[in-house]
Structure 1
């Protein structure tokens, strides 16, 4: 494939908003090879290993753990990289190359719920015997994770797991039976950084206590602290190591180079948000008004705009095939909708990827129809939720 066909810098904003990023078009085998190499480099020889979600909440936990182990990286190289990215001749905000950074004694392996098992397998394969292992902001789909967890506990000195998602009781019992110290916070009251902060029971500096509080404001979609949007954007645009190092040093009071970088990236971000909001339709599903749209965009801001238009819940379908579901005071059942379509999450924020893509023709249809099939499948999940309520009432 010609690289120019997937180069974001050479396509119009309209087309860019309808298509996935360049990484989508890389074969999974290449992604797996790169992920395995990076994980091995981070795990081998580490004093402790953290398997964490790569969002602001999971990475805040890593910052706390590196502080506890006195294992934070030097922030200066990352600040220099930020300045270089803002130079006129730079590649418009591409993140720094993690291969050129040093490794911390507390190794970081980022994972999603779908790649959790593979990440833990790598810990079991590459970690030194007696290592401390932490899993943060990740919830297994089912009990099939148990064998992998047992392999990790057999290798490690201790395994501690901090999370705040909605766990199945049997899955939680199986993980604990495998020898894990599992702490699950209330998903509508705490983020995982809160859970880690209280569970580690250490004398953390004030800027990291503040980091957990602002992360909660973003992750639970409270939206009372303007700094939470900065954390969310920075976690999305920076490499995991950069984010952990910078917030570990400064907390939510991000330094000037980061603020300048965010301002630079937000110009295009706002334009993509406008495109998604313009495409949105409102649907009545029983007592709920559901806003549905499509595009590569920042889902929280789009959902906020749709809520201002009267939506109780919002569905933002992404070009890569996944979707974000956001709620409000009028709808706190996003996780119940997502669970019907291969996903999960929280009452007011959840994600999913319907199992409807068999080949590239299905994706081509997805892009050219602006996610028509995915929209229909998720709206049907809202309707089933309503039908279940009516059956229960009867």
Structure 2
């Protein structure tokens, strides 16, 4: 492929935000080879391994675990690399994480330096991450899994059961809504599974109270600020800084920087985040401008498309009267965000190959068979994806209405019996 076709320089934002970032066009086979190699380097010889979601919540947990093991990396090299990246990124429109030139990056080997290895994972790669720990970790390693919830136990059963036999311990900290059978199956293996209330705690809260270590006050503050964004409380402006930085930084960098500074990011990082936000705000405006509202049952659902910051787009759409917002992404996935009037996001996502929280969920409908399907997705602004997600909203609306009617009938029957 001609590099110019995916180079955003000189291309109007209205066009390039309709396409995925450059990483989408990097073959999965090559990406997997690099991920496998880096995971092996991070895991081999480690005293402990952390598999964590690569967002601010999951990586805060990794930083806490490294602190408990006295295994934090030196932040100085990272700050120097951030300053260099800030200078190089002037005028660069692409805010997606990129593969750095290892030859010029003093932190290129950071993933292999700590005795607590970090494997950043997502909800769809948990099984692969467990398999990599099984393949490369020493016997009797301590394993931690943070901020990740399996949709189905069978999906992770084989590597987890083998790890339960090989590791010294497995501790799993989370705050998502677990299926009771899945949680019971995990605990039967001897895994120390601690799940916090999803509407009260983030996983950093759970990790902080679960680790047997005397943390100083900055760690409690880090957990509180992380919670402020993760639970969409939005009372502390620092929480947006953490969330944005966790997206734009690599996992090792974020865990090291917040491990050193807590919720108060240093000036170099603050400057880097501010620089990236100029482009971010413009993308939010474009996505909000593309939104179309639909009436589904008693709900107003706003649906939009584009490469953007989904939480801020959803917040704006809610401010304009939407009960729920759907942000369809060029890579094929979608974010579903609710409100006090709509707490069924996880139910909608569950019908289209996803899951999450009542007010925040994600999915990737199984509708992309080849590149022609993606081409149609990009040129129609996600028409097929929008259609199946709206159908899921309609199905959930019917279920909610039926449940409400049944509850009314039961209440009426009880009232008649009382008479």
TM range (shorter): over 0.9
Q: Indicate yes or no: 2:98 matched with 1:99.
A: no
Which has the larger Rg? 2
The question of whether the paired residues in 2 share the 8 Å contact of 1:8 and 1:21 is answered with no
RMSD: 1.4
Compared with structure 1, are the counterparts of its residues 89 and 238 closer, same or farther at alpha carbon in structure 2 (3 Å cutoff)? closer
Tell which deviates more after alignment, 198-207 or 152-161.
Answer: 198-207
**Alignment correspondent of 1:369:** 380
Q: For the residues of structure 2 that align with 1:342 and 1:9, how far apart are their CA atoms? A: 35
Rounded Cα–Cα distance in structure 2 between residues aligned with 1:111 and 1:270: 27
Partner residue of 1:113 out of 123, 142, 152: 123
Match of 1:11, SS state, is coil
Aligned equivalents of 2:352, 2:129: Cα separation in 1: 24
C-alpha separation in 1, matches of 2:61 and 2:246: 13
Superposition map of 1:144-155 within 5 A: 144=154, 145-155=156-166
1:317 aligns with 328
Q: Which residue of 2 aligns with 1:305?
A: 316
Q: Does 1:185 align with 2:196?
A: yes
- Could you list the runs of 5+ residues in structure 2 that have no partner in the other structure? 407-419
Residue pair 1:84, 1:90 contacting (<8 A) in 2 also: no
Displacement over 4 Å in runs of 4+: 88-91, 93-98
Q: Which structure 2 residues correspond to residues 72-221 of structure 1 after superposition, within 5 A?
A: 72-87=72-87, 92=92, 97=102, 99-101=108-110, 103-144=113-154, 145-221=156-232
1:141 is displaced (CA, Å) by 1.6
CA distance, structure 1, for counterparts of residue 202 and residue 380 of structure 2:
36
List gaps (5 residues or longer) in structure 1: none
Q: Deviations over 1:202-229 (max 9, x none)?
A: 2112111111111111111111111110
- In structure 2, what is the Cα distance between the partners aligned to 1:147 and 1:314? 37
SS state at 1:230 partner: helix
Instruction: Give the Cα separation in 2 of the matches to 1:29 and 1:174.
Output: 32
CA distance 1:90–1:352, change in 2 (3 Å): same
Q: Pick which of 138-147 and 75-84 moved more.
A: 138-147
Mapping of residues 198-277 of structure 1, within 5 Å: 198-277=209-288
SS at match of 2:17: helix
Any idea what SS the aligned residue of 1:388 has?
helix
Shift of 1:233: 0.2
Query: What is the CA-CA distance between 1:89 and the residue it aligns to?
Result: 7.4
Give the equivalent residue in structure 2 for 1:9.
9
Residue equivalent to 2:65: 65
Q: d(CA) in 1 for partners of 2:5 and 2:84?
A: 26
Contact 1:53 1:136 in 2 (8 A): yes
SS in structure 2 at match of 1:129? coil
TM-superposed CA distance for 1:90, in Å, is: 6.3
Corresponding pairs, count: 394
Describe the superposition over 1:77-105 as per-residue Cα deviations: whole angstroms up to 9, x where unpaired: 11111111122676847765553435211
Deviation at 1:285, TM superposition (A): 1.0
- Residues 1:332 and 2:343 aligned together: yes
Offset, 1:348: 1.1
